[in-house]
Structure 1
Amino acid sequence: MATSNKSLRVLVEWMREQRGQAGLTYRELSSRTRFHATTLQRAASGESMPKLGTVLAYARACDASPETAKSLWKRARYEETLPRGGQRLSAPRLELVRDFADLGVSLVELYRRAGSPSFRSMEERAGGFGALPRSTARRIVNRQALPHNMEQFLAFLNVCDLPERERAAWVGAWSRAWRLAKQDAAEAAGTSILELSDPKGIEWFSGSSRNSERAGAILRRLAHFRDGEMVTVDVLPAISEQTPSPRERPRQAC
């Protein structure tokens, strides 16, 4: 096999082994799938990265494990997407994710390990209308944006085939990143943040802002994760020292 992709070599060798154990010719293999014999033979040649659908059909026709085939394909696809000769951003361990930069790199790494699915397929698999638009998925992968809210964040994790047992750790990373962003915004605005004990998770802001315009730009569209709910918050106008406190005259954030 003329390939420098070690994971692709492992995938191809596995595919060939499955066909050998099944005792099938490529013509017989083709009769069990919707793919031409030439397409199946090319998929197991190692000359190029085969499509996932072809690999899965190949495995099923050989009565082999589709799960194993998909796992091997993802590894091969991941290795193929690594930059050649360029510097690759290293994602921190999930428990060390602290801010938006860390979270963004980690999401890109998760996407690549999922086999870099097309943005169209991500949108379709996300389910409901607007759950994860392909344009948003593209911006997340290109590190131009982060998910808008928890629902979209979880949709991204789901379409990247994240196991359920790993979800809590990702939610923890998301919460830490948002918490730090709020703290930085509050410091930039010279604002004290009071988190009131409200059943709906209402967030309140009070204090005298040194730079309310900057604070507004930073805090706008921030979200706070509490008790499994994502509450969108915004900065309130600067409050003078004479203004009654939020406990006396509360004002709900947007």
Structure 2
Amino acid sequence: MGRPEKPVDRSVPARAELADFLRALKADAGLTYERMATASGGAPSKATLERAASGRSVPAWDTVAAYVSLTMTPNTRLMSPWDPMRRARVLWICARRATRAPYYLHKAPDPQMVWGVADFSRALRDQHVWAGCPTPGEMERMAGPGMLPSSTTRRIIQGQILPVDPAQAIAFLTICDAREMVLWIEAGLRALMNDRPHDVGTYAWVKAHKRMLAEQAESDDTAFADATVLNAA
């Protein structure tokens, strides 16, 4: 089974919790880092996998996702009360947040506090930090081809530009684990209407907001109808 691992570095508790979780998956799968690296074709490498579970640093999300996939077994899915990949994502975000978030950021930003373009830009940046500061490259890969080019994402993160349209904003916010997407699109629309009411691009936000409200109303109507049927049964 290979030589014993060094103890997990516990200087940052959130980092240590992620490392403990990864090591537990590896132990349950009965694998060595050599076998994991071979199964991955060397990407990530044995050294990268070992470092990911050391607790000394927070690995890239791509590495964590690969680690979880390599150690996933049918038993893992059956015996776990949670999805291992989702659990890994939560622990990774907490670890990144613990090591990268500025001292003033104690909770996720509230889109309802956005009134202007500067507010919206700042809220997007804070949400990115709250999600663990995924890199532009990571975000581009997670969003899919063409949706979040790394160069555009970098400029959004730096506060130089806003997303080009609501679809890009939704992709950015989804990767950054934002909730209440209707409120976020409403915030973007409010910011643009206050600061750029005559901008051609503002119309796209109007349409997106109306569509999301209609979808929400339809979902609420469906839920109400289902509840009515159940209560009558």
Is this a same-fold pair by TM over 0.5? yes
Structure 2: unaligned runs, 5 residues or longer: 1-7, 77-83, 211-233
* Whole-angstrom distance in 2 between the partners of 1:229 and 1:17: 44
Partner of residue 82, structure 1: 101
* Whole-angstrom distance in 2 between the partners of 1:56 and 1:12: 13
Question: Which has the larger helix fraction?
Answer: 2
How far did residue 125 of structure 1 move?
A: 4.8
How far did residue 108 of structure 1 move?
A: 1.1
* Whole-angstrom distance in 2 between the partners of 1:182 and 1:143: 17
Question: Which has the larger strand fraction?
Answer: 1
* Whole-angstrom distance in 1 between the partners of 2:108 and 2:117: 12
Q: State TM-score, norm by structure 1.
A: 0.61
Partner of residue 103, structure 1: 120
Partner of residue 160, structure 2: 144
Partner of residue 186, structure 2: 172
* Whole-angstrom distance in 1 between the partners of 2:138 and 2:153: 10
Count of aligned pairs between the two proteins? 190
The yes-or-no answer on 1:47 pairing with 2:56 is: yes
**CA deviation vs aligned residue, 1:182-222 (integer Å, no higher than 9, x gap):** 57xxxxxxxxxxxxxxxxxxxxxxxxxxxxxxxxxxx5556
Q: State TM-score, norm by structure 2.
A: 0.65
The 5 Å alignment of 1:67-216 reads 67-83=86-102, 92-123=109-140, 125-127=142-144, 129=146, 131-160=147-176, 162=178, 166-182=180-196
Indicate how the Cα distance of structure 1 residues 96 and 57 shifts in structure 2: closer, same or farther if over 3 A, else same.
same
Contact map agreement 2:185 2:208 (CA 8 A) in 1: no
* Whole-angstrom distance in 2 between the partners of 1:123 and 1:61: 23
SS in 2 for 1:228: helix
Partner of residue 9, structure 1: 16
Alignment partner for residue 202 of structure 2, among 191, 208, 223?
A: 223
Percent of aligned pairs sharing the same letter: 32
Indicate how the Cα distance of structure 1 residues 27 and 56 shifts in structure 2: closer, same or farther if over 3 A, else same.
same
- Aligned CA RMSD, in angstroms, stands at 3.2
* Whole-angstrom distance in 2 between the partners of 1:132 and 1:19: 33
* Whole-angstrom distance in 1 between the partners of 2:174 and 2:107: 22
Where relative contact order (Cα < 8 A, 6+ residues apart) is larger, the structure is: 2
